[in-house]
Structure 1
Amino acid sequence: MTTMTHKGYEAVVEYDDEAALFHGEVVNLRDVVTFQGRSVDELKQALADSIEDYLEFCAKRGEEPEKPYSGQFVVRVEPVLHKAVATSAKRAGISLNKWVAQVLERETA
């Protein structure tokens, strides 16, 4: 599996040996955007075309296209855990946001 990007939209690509075809899906959207191709050039063009089609479809419907991740998300936890992480951040001398970001970076590296 490999990844590709176009206009900030990220896709994962896999090869289907049976069909002798690469196929991909944009992964940083809730909407489903897929594409396929037989060569790297075809695949790049198919991704670009699929993203452009998605953007046009949204425009025709008068909707804002979903943007790739904004860098913000809400996490709901039990109050006891909230207190514990806030205390850990204070002990570290950093904001809760920075503390959580550091933990997430460490865990996803």
Structure 2
Amino acid sequence: MSQMTYKGYTARIEFDDRDDLFVGRLLGVHDIVSFHADSVGGLHHALQEAVEDYLADCAARGVEPEKPASGKIMLRIRPEVHAAAAIAAKASGKSLNQWAESVFERAARRRAGG
């Protein structure tokens, strides 16, 4: 599995060996936005077209397109984990938000394979 991004929207890409196609689906939006192509170049074009179609459809319906993320996150964690994170942040010279962002970013990159 791979990922591609266009205009802040990320798509999961898989290869369908039955149909010999790359298949993609946008992540982080409730609407089903999918696309496919038989080449990598075609896949880039198909992703762009799918996102543009999604945005145009939202505009036509008068609804705000979903954003993959707002930049705000609310977590409920055990108090001892919260305290340990606050200490780790202070020890690294960062605010808890800055520290948590760097931890999330490293974890997400490892998960995405990059």
**Aligned equivalent of 2:68:** 68
Q: Normalising to structure 1: TM-score of the pair? A: 0.78
Quick one: structure 1 residues 6 and 91, their matched pair in 2 at CA, closer, same or farther if it must change by over 3 Å?
A: closer
Equivalence for 1:43? 43
Q: Are residues 3 and 107 of structure 1, via their aligned partners in 2, closer, same or farther at CA, if it must alter by over 3 Å?
A: closer
1:102 equivalent in structure 2: 102
> The residue matched to 1:36 in structure 2 has which SS?
strand
Letter in 2 for 1:103: V
Distance 1:5 1:105 in 2: 16
The residue that corresponds to 2:34 in the other structure is 34
| 1:62-107: CA deviation from partner (whole Å, max 9, x where unpaired) | 2111123233311111334323322443344421112222333444
When normalised by structure 2's length, the TM-score is: 0.75
Aligned mates of 1:43, 1:104 — CA distance in 2: 28
Provide the rounded CA distance (Å) in 1 between the counterparts of 2:8 and 2:89: 31
Alignment-derived partner of residue 52 in structure 1: 52
SS of match in other structure, 2:31: coil
Structure 1: distance between partners of 2:106 and 2:8:
24
Alpha-carbon distance in 2 for matches of 1:65, 1:50: 13
Q: 1:92 to 1:43 in 2, by over 3 A?
A: closer
CA distance in 2, matches of 1:6, 1:22: 17
Q: Counterpart in 2 of 1:5?
A: 5
Q: Matches of 1:46 and 1:107 in 2, distance apart? A: 29
Letter in 1 for 2:100: V
Match of 1:82 in 2: 82
Alignment length, in residue pairs?
109
Higher relative CO (Cα under 8 Å, sequence separation at least 6) belongs to 2
- Of all paired residues, the percent bearing the same amino acid is 47
RMSD: 2.2
Equivalent position SS for 2:25:
strand
